[in-house]
Amino acid sequence: MAQLFSRRATTIFRVVLTLTPLAAAAGGGLTYAWLRSDAAWGVGKPAPQPIPFRHDLHAGVLKIDCRYCHTGAERAADAGMPSAQTCMTCHSQIWAGASVLEPLRTALALDTPLRWRSVSRLPDFAYFHHGAHVSKGVTCATCHGRVEEMPKTVKARTLSMGWCLECHRDPGSRLPLHTAVLATAEKKQPSGQAPRAHDTSLLMSCSTCHR
C-alpha cells in the first residue's frame, strides 16, 4: 500500500503534536502567574482622587489618629470616610482659600459627600467586618500597610480570598494580643485542656464571608 503521508509530513505532524500542549501549558502558566501576582490585584497602584489628600502628612507628620477620620474602624463593618465637615475643622482656617480644596467647599455648600475612590473595595459578594478584626488586635497595617507613610494611598496587600484564608487558617500566630489572651485563658483552664482561642472551622466556612 502506498504511503499516505510523506516521511517529512509525518515528522512535522509529530513536532506540532508535541509542541501544542507545551505551548498551551506555558501560556496557561503565564496566565496563572499573572492572576496570582500583586499587579493583577492593583497592589501599589494609587487611584485618582478629587483632592490630593496625603496620609503621610495628616497621619504621619501631624499624627492625627486614624479613627478621627475613619470612625467606624473599631466597631462597625465599614471603617467609614471623613465628611467635608471633618476636614473643615482645620481647613476652615488652614489653607482655607486653596484651590486644591475647592471640592471640599463645593461638597459643603451643596451638602454632598466627597467622592473618594477606593483602592481596597471587595466585590459585593464578599463580606468584611472591621470591628471583628480591630477589636481582636489585628492592626490596620496588617491589612493596609504603613498608610501613615503614604503620600498617595495604595493597596498594600492583595486582599484576595487566598490572602484572607492564610490568616483565618491560624489567626492565633498572627495576632499581637494572642499570647496575652492565651496566657490568661490558660490560667483559668483546668490543666491538660488546651483552650481554643478561635473557632477556626467557622473562620474557614464559606458562609462567614459569603452570606
- Choose between 97 and 192: whose C-beta lies nearer to ligand HEC: 97
Task: Quote the cell numbers at residue 118.
Answer: 477606593
Give yes or no for residue 9 binding ligand HEC (CB under 6 A). Answer: no
Give yes or no for residue 32 binding ligand HEC (CB under 6 A). Answer: no
Give yes or no for residue 89 binding ligand HEC (CB under 6 A). Answer: yes
Residues of this chain, 146-165, that bind ligand HEC according to CB under 6 A: 147-148, 153, 159-161, 164-165
- State the minimum distance, in angstroms, from the CB of residue 182 to ligand HEC: 12
Q: How far apart are CA 77 and CA 126, in angstroms?
A: 12
Per CB under 6 A, which region of 9-17, 18-26, 51-59, 183-191 contacts ligand HEC? 51-59
- Give how many residues touch ligand HEC by CB under 6 A: 71
Give yes or no for residue 119 binding ligand HEC (CB under 6 A). Answer: yes
- Choose between 11 and 37: whose C-beta lies nearer to ligand HEC: 37
Give yes or no for residue 49 binding ligand HEC (CB under 6 A). Answer: yes
Instruction: Check the CA dihedral 91-92-95-98 and report its sign.
Output: positive
Amino acid identity at 163: W
- Answer yes or no: are the C-beta atoms of 94 and 82 closer than 8 Å: no
Among 129, 181, 182, 200, binds ligand HEC (CB under 6 A): 129
CA 173 to chain centre: 20
Residues of this chain, 177-206, that bind ligand HEC according to CB under 6 A: 198, 203-204, 206
Q: Which among 60, 46, 49 is positioned nearest to 82, based on CA atoms?
A: 49
Q: How far apart are CA 30 and CA 35, in angstroms?
A: 9
Cα distances (Å, whole numbers) of residue 186 to 21, 115, 138, 162, 183: 56, 48, 21, 31, 5
